[in-house]
């Protein structure tokens, strides 16, 4: 059977795709990871697309997987494309869903406005509690803050160009 890796989006985790994994297991060896800082994984020194791509490569190497298909949701799709650019011999095919390609300062600003922990706690407390549980033992507010910083940087210097 072919291998497929499912990558989650920003502030997400691999557990969000259990139903999809269950559907795919009939035809694929299904793999999923939490990016560093997500889903309880330890934060690494960097919190950016390059680090998340390294997380994937480390997983592939530690599991002796030479090449793999990837389904990436949102940021996970962006990571898959970044990997294809930087390690093309490791990625077979990519399916993305909800992936934003065009990062500008204005777009980053709009996205960052949705990552204010205090507003989430006030307006959607159930989601705040869900994020708290999803990222424990990490502080979910740190995940949001680091994601906002990453998006700001992507708005200033998109890791992927239109030519990519």
The answer to whether the beta carbons of residues 13 and 34 sit under 8 Å apart is yes
| CATH number of the domain to which 7 belongs | 3.40.50.1820
In which element (H, E) is residue 152 found?
Answer: helix 140-156
Distance in angstroms (rounded) separating the CA atoms of residues 83 and 87: 5
Question: Quick one: tokens of 64?
Answer: 């002796």
Domain assignment present for residue 163? The answer is no
pTM score of the predicted model = 0.95
Q: Give the range of the structural domain holding residue 57, as residue numbers without chain letter.
A: 2-156
Q: Does residue 57 fall inside a structural domain? A: yes
Asked if residue 161 is part of any domain, the answer here is no
Residue 116 falls inside a structural domain: yes
Q: Please check whether residue 162 lies inside any domain of the structure.
A: no
Is 90 part of any domain?
Answer: yes
Q: What's the total number of domains in the chain?
A: 1
Helices 105-112 and 140-156, axial angle in degrees (round to 10): 170
CA distance 79 to 53: 6
142 lies in some domain: yes
Give pLDDT tens digits for 21-75. 999 999 999 999 999 999 999 999 999 999 999 999 999 999 999 999 999 999 9
Over residues 127-157, the pLDDT tens digits come to 999 999 999 999 999 999 999 999 999 999 9
């Amino acid at each position: 059977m072919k291998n497929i890796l499912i990558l989650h989006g920003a502030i997400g985790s691999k557990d969000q795709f259990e139903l999809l994994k269950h559907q795919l297991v009939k035809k694929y060896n299904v793999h999923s990871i939490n990016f560093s800082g997500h889903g309880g994984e330890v934060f690494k020194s960097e919190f950016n697309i390059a680090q998340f791509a390294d997380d994937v490569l480390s997983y592939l190497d530690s599991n002796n997987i030479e090449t793999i298909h990837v389904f990436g949701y949102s940021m996970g799709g962006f990571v898959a494309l970044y990997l294809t650019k930087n390690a093309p011999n490791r990625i077979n095919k990519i399916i993305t869903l909800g992936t934003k390609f065009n990062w500008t300062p204005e777009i980053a600003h709009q996205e960052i406005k949705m990552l204010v922990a205090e507003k989430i706690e006030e307006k959607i407390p159930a989601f705040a509690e869900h994020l708290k549980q999803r990222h424990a033992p990490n502080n979910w507010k740190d995940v949001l803050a680091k994601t906002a910083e990453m998006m700001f940087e992507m708005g200033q210097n998109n890791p992927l160009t239109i030519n990519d």
